[in-house]
Amino acid sequence: MSLQQHLAIIEQQLGRPPRALKAIAASSNSGVPLVLKMHPLMDNKPFPTLYWLSSKDLHKAISQIEMTGMVKQLEQQLQDDPKWMAQTYYHKMPIILKT
């Protein structure tokens, strides 16, 4: 897929041309952008969101997870046990590497 095709899809996904786009961080098997990596500065001002969901389906799925309170639970788990993330990530690493 060409850069112009990617940009056209991203514009359709966002409903506007992308601003501060640095790269496509993740895409589907068919090449459709899912997550965008943004420049840390936009118009010489800090842009706090380094990764942006461009996929409406992915955005909807994550929003549903957030509505269940899962994100708050994970944040609390990290506060209660800072080593938890490293332990969880370490145990899932073989699964991540196989996919």
Q: How far apart are CA 49 and CA 7, in angstroms?
A: 19
- Establish if 62 belongs to a structural domain: no
pLDDT in tens, 54-71: 998 888 988 888 899 888
Counted domains in the chain = 2
Domain hosting residue 86, numbered range: 69-99
Question: pTM higher than 0.75 for the full model?
Answer: no
* Structure confidence at residue 92 (pLDDT): 54
* pLDDT mean across residues, the chain: 85
* Structure confidence at residue 98 (pLDDT): 42
Same domain, 15 and 52: yes
Integer Rg of the chain from CA:
16
Same domain, 79 and 35: no
